[in-house]
Structure 1
């Protein structure tokens, strides 16, 4: 639905329209940040705020997951490299929409804060959801300078992990009162433990009767380091007596590293023991076929994939980076290992394979933790509180 400036002008005596929020992102592709944005819009009270998603690039496979009617998705068609024209197009979109609030996310959309200020958008929020492979510690001098220069334009920051919250305050110089940590939420009704034997997945004959399935879900990009998981899988096959007969590997997702991972499996003679089908729409069902969930990322914000696995009742083996430390409780709901280290990763997975009942105990606790602390409604309420606080009229000083 196309929005015109006139849509924001109420007739005399007519109810005033709800405030409009523009969510500016790089693209609405498959990813944790994008999934979190869709979940947020779907679970916010529709009468409180209206929403428009503005994408810098034209890629929106997640658009079909929007359940709320009337949410416009606009693309300014940024070309690869430095496209000066997209700044003008974005400015024109913001002037036309005349939103009450803009919410940018991550470095790719940060420059939109300057254009929003120039377009007269009074309320401005920026969210940090994770770092890129080229700047794992957030110390790139050029990017730090950009964030510090634009910091005064931002009314409030949202960090999805405690690590990012501390970095915004300590490195970027944001005032603590202007930074809020809001973790992601998960749909615990859609993602739930399996009842009975696992569903048949993979090619015919992939799963044997007593298969132990090591699984991972996520974008297959270098920062996710799925090659380390494949190396750990090879170590397990070599070390475990029943490795070749029972161990199976399932990696769900697509991206530039999928083909190299398939080549690595073929070269090691493990192709028949692994299934890498690419992106899928039946992730909840596939998670219920796993016995342990593994996230070998080199950097992470607040992982939706970990939360979905926990909601499914799976123990989680993850690298001790970023928001993973907030989600995984070692020796209680899962195990944390160093990044880029296949040997400790293999050892952690082996514990769940060798020790009877350990996966069920850790997975059950993980499910209970999700139910108590990581609901979608709690996440939406936390964002709503930030939006409301920023939108509230200033309290006049007493004389």
Structure 2
């Protein structure tokens, strides 16, 4: 689903500079035999206008980007993945570092490490490629925050990014990749740039990763900015609290649809599923929460230029079947999440509600999914099953607040994750 524009006051999450090998090398080093498991991820998007101002269209020249992300499961060794998936030219990284985060754009003293690719501190990512850095010794605990800093000396052109970070990224003029303090980082953005993954070796690798795949309900719109209260964050916390942590990856894109491509709202789910789910290192299972935008945008246009496109329930179901087919072909367990209530939102009409009911009935009863996460019932109002419980409503009757995302995470049975 998509988010209505607003300007949240977002806490610091600095992704700072990353290093990467070649697409082929990345694929080779991501094999299970190498022991890598993704512990944080974000879905790449095309540069463009979005719900909040961002730097993607202008790109970067002689600037440093610092971004902080929270890993879901820890490890003894780390690497970073950077994406130039939507770049029109090779991306030159003049240098990159990784460190344990402190507060804002500051890093923990003594934890800063230089990132390299094939032992070189400067490297180039071809247009359309994702690359992984060399391994670096940086012990990370479950739910640790890390800072990745990239120095971009040459003009980058428009930047591959992730629009709705629900967190703050930082920018400084000049080369500040090795700064431990935050003083130079005087510009902020609510998006992530180039950073597509953090991988670890260690405990997380033994259990494998869970990918949360979907739209803004997965991306976390409506949660407290900078607080890591999206439902995949809450699920990672829940699993860590049991003493059996698992890597939980967030591959949501606000406004994303199962059946329709969009320049601003991401490639359709059936197209991006391989890259965003099946190609993630160490993936074992996926939770699919998609379809509310296909339904809602059949009735109402997006405020950022996506016109209504009528999508029947049967087409959404066919898209889900294709996602399941792709997952099972790779030996990945597929869990289907029912679409939460939306009565009172701009998406709601009698026709859209009938579609939602049809899709949910199929998810629950078809047996096509390996397991079902029934968010519709978990999040419904006790007095009206077609409406979100007011305790979980962020205010637009479509997106969840922190309590709603916590409840969504608790609707997942850990035993169903495999």
Relative to the length of structure 1, the TM-score reads 0.28
Pick 1 or 2: higher relative contact order, CA cutoff 8 A, min separation 6: 2
When Rg is computed on C-alpha atoms for both structures, the one with the higher figure is 1
Q: Select the structure that is richer in strand.
A: 2
Q: Select the structure that is richer in helix.
A: 1
Relative to the length of structure 2, the TM-score reads 0.27
